[in-house]
Structure 1
Amino acid sequence: MSSLIAQFPSLSSIVSGVALHLLVLRHGEWDQSAPVIVAWYLAFVAVGLVLPSVTEFQVGAGPLFQSLICHIAGLFSSIFIYRVFFHRLRKFPGPILAGITAFYATYLSAKKFHKFKEIENLHQQYGDYVRVGPRELSVADPRAVLSIYGPPSKTTKGPFYDGVQPFISLHSDRDKKRHARRRRTWDHAFSTSGNFPPFNRRDYVNLLIIALRDYEHRVSKYSSQLLSAVSDQVGQAIDMGRWFNYYSFDIMGDLTFGKSFEMLVTGQDSYMLSTLHNDLQSLGPFLHVMWFIPFFKMIPGLNNSYTAFWKWLYEQVDTRSKNEPDEPDIFTWLLKEFRTGEQTEKGKLFLHGDADLAVVAGSDTTAATLTNLFYELASSPTWTAKLQSEIDVVNHSTYRDLAHMPLLSATIDETLRLHPPLPSGMQRVTPPQGIRLDDVYIPGDCIVQMPLHTLFRDERCFAQPTKFIPERWTTQPELVKDRSAYIPFGSGSFACVGKQLALMEMRRVTVDLLSRYDVTLAKEQTHEDFQEGHQDVFTLVHGRGLQLVFTERKSRNL
């Protein structure tokens, strides 16, 4: 065999490509190493072209490129054959192209940014388990929630979370032990350390509410600024999608950098907001082709926005680090953790990653939920009237009062069910031993993702799943068939650390607005246009906004 290979250089090149795949690239994750791999190939070509001019070794450009082409042909042929006929996910149904290339998921994402709808269509066609990538499975089986996301889960975060490297935030940290250690710092920041006795749920929530009171007056400040902006446009159409973004980002700018972005005051997008949404739209379709992201970050011209943003973030962190506010905020705890450590370069990357996380994760999802919430309220005048009646009889001067308003909580829960802020769910990797769910076995080292938009609208979990019925969380509990499937803030060790702060922001501004105004859809705002404007770019973004009309309330039950 060796003599045969020696006689046919092209065959040798083909074999080398097959061997590279089977012996090396088939094992482990190579996304972040993609630029290095390409660099080695370029170096091979460069050496092959330069070598004849400096040595007696002669090789023409033609044979060199022929060998390279044969090598690449062998590599990709091996990848194709393996993924189609031998891959551990080959028995799961799904589009043929999905099993061959991760670009199929990019194709789904690029279709109006409606990936969550495209995935739902695939589940309707193929069932609960659909292969949507070479090693990726979309799972819509409610039985899988605890095994994939719950406290007993052995899964880890998927390669998607490496997209922000070298910056590693709490959210993107794939090391479970390190994540748990860093999580304690964030728990202090949100005063949800969990070091409480085993109270019942109501007592536990009371403790969290008390812990967050240091942030309450700051949230109220920005709610008042939003009300001021609305009061200037009473009776007129106003894009509340935009203003809810201003509200949530101004709050998190204050709690992270010690200063607001001043969007509620100026009525103009800040650099942070516009850059975030532009980058999400640019990179959103490629979040399943993670080997592409390192090229995006390193190619001049293509990476202008990326490098400018992190330069800006460094400046914000540096300024905030030199100016400690009178009142502690989220960054107080993050900075304290950094300064008590060794203050290494890696520690700085963690700190800057966490600063980015605090603003983005604490703002984008809250703004999206508020936009969806007021869309549902404007579309459901009967329920809105009931909620206003509850608001009128409750002393809502403190957040403790707001947190114990059942109709308000039901409104938020039902909004999060119909419009989860992470509609495609969170990416996980199965443990080496895999996961077994009765008659279904998911192999180890596979990417799994549960589409929350599909799961929350599943008849097995919720009766009348596509209808906005907040009563399912209050007087009609029979409409909730499987409570364990409802995880809008995640579950287990990776659950959202800022949940209670997000709820505070949503409750505060909802009560403040509805206590003063009635709300309706603007004449030009159609249901179809609003729903078509949903963009799934990991978080849910409203590309077309939401046009509402606020009018002074005609009556109040005081």
Structure 2
Amino acid sequence: MTLFTSAPYFAALTIVIVFYFVVYPVIVYFRDAKGLRKFPNMSPFSGMSNLPFMILAHGGARSSYLVKLHKEHPILRTGPNTLSFGDVRAIKEIYGHGTPCLKDEAYSLPAASHYHLADVVDKPDHARKRKILSSAYALKNLEGWEHKVADKVERLITQFDARCTAPLPKGKLYPDKDELTVDYRAWTNFFTLDAIADIGLSERLGLLDKGHDRVIGQWMDGSTSELNLRECLYPTARKQSLILWSYDYFKFLNKAVNLIPFYRRMSESSQGWDAIVLRRSAERLRRYQSGEKLDDFFQALMEDKNGAPNNLEWGEIVAEINIMMNAGSATTAIAVTNVLYQLLKNPRTLHRLREEIDAVLDSDEVIAPYDKVKHLPYLRACLDESLRLFPPTPHGLPRKTPAEGLWIADQYIPGDTTVSMSALVAHRDESVFPEADKFIPERWLGEKGKTLQSAFIAFSAGARGCIGRNISYLEQTVLLSSVLHRYEFALPQGFELKRLETMNWILGEMPVKLWRRQLETETEGT
């Protein structure tokens, strides 16, 4: 009897669900109140649901797929209220200085109790934060922080020296498996994590010394445990990249999918990352309260350049440390891995770059002084070309158009519409970057190279551009110059670096054989 009594209710619930999730979106699509139906759909159902975009995200190559579609369509509808642009003219209008666009719900929905510089939406609040942090990230501070970067390069080289092998025999192009003594991806990630912890918090994580990434995390109840830093860092962004795009249901989905082990493990990793950040923050606060005055990011959070307190809430301080350690390590680690990979795949380019570096460094110089290498044109061209080819953050950073709407790339876009342009899409535009799929650093040299900067958005653009780009270039420049001057590298035969797209790339292992270069030592009297 209960079965028959409940059947009408079950049927009614089914009708409501079908109407809400199937019929209603179709009605809204054909009603087309905003006039978005004129734009081609990414998939047949993209105008009705965000589900196709979420399915695409699960494939780990979302932006690469958009690159192909944008070759035919300058604007694509990737969701009911979402447009992706493939015309580089859109960069200025969406991201440039003075744009009326704001960051959309993709930033506010997953945010914690306090916003950090990257996820704050409100423009006045962003300006307040940027003013506080700009002194810490100012170009003049690079001189003060170079010794911290040099220290980490020296520690990395100590480890590499211990893992050097004999040179490849003449005529042999590829190493044997037992000669692949270094996972360059892992070690350079240890490097960026150690560097940002020192620059930001004056803390020595010691990953390069230990050769692993196990650190102490602190939970909200004060207890501590040992955690693998990288295993906690990368799944945090991955889960968001998979389920975030259905804004109306994100908070529900974020909890509901934890019933599935695949997602639950990512949530647990996220909690571990929060514990690692809390531990770093608490330890640095203790040092500050004991009277230590240190030249780092934390000091700039606590006081302005005149020593007056900034009076930030503790939650806001922890949030800023979180994004500093996350973005400040992950993206640079991706960049330094990618550039060596590209150079090893392009020996002529590598040879030319080595000649430029060797010309300014002494043969016995171990750590490249920043002053000697920061203005090397071909070095910077190689870095930028690698960032162009595989920008560490490839996905389109979403922005919301103002209520009155906005003209973007000669198209009127209604108000409160999410718009974006993937850096990977922008950087594959053949009209700006001929032979866009090839690694050609020469395109950045001379006056011609300057004209490309407006389409180069590896660090985003405008007022919301990456505040840490100077630190990233410092680390990339000193590290790459130092290791190329000291070592030869070889990849396994047929090796291809694996990339999985989340918000950033998650890179696979990069096993290399390395050995010391034989440089001519300057003789006395020359």
Matches within 5 A, 1:406-555: 406-437=377-408, 439-474=410-445, 478=448, 482-523=452-493, 526=495, 529-530=496-497, 533-542=498-507, 544-555=508-519
What CA distance in whole angstroms lies between the structure 1 residues aligned with 2:232 and 2:252? 19
* Residues 1:414 and 1:306: Cα distance change in structure 2 (over 3 Å): closer
CA drift at 1:68: 4.7
Letter in 1 for 2:81: R
* Residues 1:116 and 1:169: Cα distance change in structure 2 (over 3 Å): same
Greater CA drift, 301-310 or 422-431: 301-310
8 Å contact kept, 1:159–1:290:
yes
**2:169 match:** none
> 1:399 is matched with which residue: 370, 382, 387?
370
CA drift at 1:515: 1.2
CA drift at 1:484: 1.3
What CA distance in whole angstroms lies between the structure 2 residues aligned with 1:442 and 1:182? 30
**2:309 match:** 340
Structure 2: any 5+ residue segments left out of the alignment? Answer: 166-178, 215-227, 362-366
Letter in 1 for 2:194: D
Letter in 2 for 1:230: F
CA drift at 1:187: 0.7
**1:10 match:** none
User: What secondary structure is seen at the aligned counterpart in 2 of 1:97?
Assistant: coil
What CA distance in whole angstroms lies between the structure 2 residues aligned with 1:217 and 1:154? 40
What CA distance in whole angstroms lies between the structure 1 residues aligned with 2:457 and 2:117? 19
Letter in 2 for 1:153: T
User: What secondary structure is seen at the aligned counterpart in 2 of 1:422?
Assistant: coil
What CA distance in whole angstroms lies between the structure 1 residues aligned with 2:81 and 2:521? 58
Letter in 2 for 1:177: P
1:133 aligns with 2:133: no
CA drift at 1:85: 3.8
**1:56 match:** none
User: What secondary structure is seen at the aligned counterpart in 2 of 1:130?
Assistant: strand
1:320 aligns with 2:254: no
**1:23 match:** none
* Residues 1:213 and 1:434: Cα distance change in structure 2 (over 3 Å): same
Q: Which has the larger radius of gyration?
A: 1
How many residue pairs align between the two structures? 471
CA drift at 1:539: 1.0
Letter in 1 for 2:351: A
1:93 aligns with 2:40: yes
What CA distance in whole angstroms lies between the structure 2 residues aligned with 1:83 and 1:257? 50
CA drift at 1:104: 1.1
> 2:163 is matched with which residue: 233, 236, 245?
233
Could you list the per-position Cα deviations for residues 397-441 of structure 1 after superposition, in whole angstroms to 9, with x for gaps in the alignment?
A: 532322111111111111111111111231111112222246422
**1:261 match:** 205
Matches within 5 A, 1:216-365: 216-235=146-165, 236-237=179-180, 238-270=182-214, 271-291=228-248, 293-295=250-252, 302=264, 303-324=267-288, 325=292, 327-336=294-303, 340=309, 347-365=313-331
**1:75 match:** 20
Letter in 1 for 2:360: V
CA drift at 1:451: 1.5
Greater CA drift, 94-103 or 173-182: 94-103
**1:27 match:** none
Matches within 5 A, 1:209-220: 210-220=140-150
Letter in 2 for 1:513: V
1:188 aligns with 2:107: no
What CA distance in whole angstroms lies between the structure 1 residues aligned with 2:234 and 2:283? 24
User: What secondary structure is seen at the aligned counterpart in 2 of 1:100?
Assistant: coil
> 2:68 is matched with which residue: 88, 98, 121?
121
CA drift at 1:283: 3.6
Could you list the per-position Cα deviations for residues 427-458 of structure 1 after superposition, in whole angstroms to 9, with x for gaps in the alignment?
A: 11111222224642222211111011121121
**1:159 match:** 105
User: What secondary structure is seen at the aligned counterpart in 2 of 1:259?
Assistant: coil
CA drift at 1:511: 1.0
What CA distance in whole angstroms lies between the structure 2 residues aligned with 1:289 and 1:335? 37
What is the TM-score normalised by the length of structure 1? 0.78
Could you list the per-position Cα deviations for residues 480-529 of structure 1 after superposition, in whole angstroms to 9, with x for gaps in the alignment?
A: 76441112111111011111001000011111101111223233x52xx3
**2:335 match:** 369
What CA distance in whole angstroms lies between the structure 1 residues aligned with 2:83 and 2:77? 5
8 Å contact kept, 1:321–1:335:
no
8 Å contact kept, 1:379–1:520:
no
1:105 aligns with 2:53: yes
What CA distance in whole angstroms lies between the structure 2 residues aligned with 1:342 and 1:410? 42
8 Å contact kept, 2:46–2:79:
yes
What CA distance in whole angstroms lies between the structure 1 residues aligned with 2:405 and 2:254? 33
User: What secondary structure is seen at the aligned counterpart in 2 of 1:226?
Assistant: helix
CA drift at 1:472: 1.4
CA drift at 1:183: 0.5
Could you list the per-position Cα deviations for residues 150-206 of structure 1 after superposition, in whole angstroms to 9, with x for gaps in the alignment?
A: 11311111211121232311000011111011001111111x2xxxxxxxxxxxxxx
CA drift at 1:541: 1.8
Considering fraction of residues, name the structure with more helix: 1
After TM superposition, the runs of 4+ consecutive aligned structure 1 residues lying more than 6 A away are none
8 Å contact kept, 2:235–2:270:
no
* Residues 1:109 and 1:482: Cα distance change in structure 2 (over 3 Å): same
Percent identity over paired residues: 26
What CA distance in whole angstroms lies between the structure 1 residues aligned with 2:488 and 2:373? 19
